[in-house]
Amino acid sequence: MTIKGSVKMTALMLVFLVGVLTACSGSDIRSVDPADVEVGLKSDPSPAKASQPVTLTATFGGVEPAEWAKAVLEIRVDGSMKLVDAPKTPEGGYSAKFTFPKAGTYEIYVHLYQGDFHVTKLKKLEVS
């Protein structure tokens, strides 16, 4: 390979690397104060009914999660916790199905994970 070809190859690799790093970085979430992150939680159907499957959808404000960010719903049931993965939806929220065993007010901790960034917000849901 000639020196000219080697320079072209190096330049091409640099362009590729910059493209990969830019695509993976998303927004600079490290500069987000977790206190500024807002979480919305809705159920479908609403109101949620005991012993029937419910779709829970979490949305985030004050932060722009990357496509690869992960959300987990930590649902407190009778003193124990149930962890439910909530994949990202095409609409930008994070949804999961869950069946509440009985009527009452449930504490749901919504976790957002993106690299070293982790935020947890408590939401309450009334189930009839």
Which of 3-12, 20-29, 108-117 ranks highest by mean pLDDT? 108-117
Whether residue 39 has pLDDT greater than 60: yes
> Two tokens at 55?
């779709």
Convert the pLDDT of each residue in 51-82 to its tens digit: 999 999 999 999 999 999 999 999 999 999 99
CA 40, 43, 47, 52 dihedral sign is: negative
- Cα distance between residue 125 and residue 39, in whole Å: 13
Convert the pLDDT of each residue in 10-24 to its tens digit: 544 544 444 444 444
- Kindly report the average pLDDT of the chain as a whole number: 85
Tell me the mean pLDDT in the region 82-97. Answer: 96
Cβ atoms 127, 100 nearer than 8 A: yes
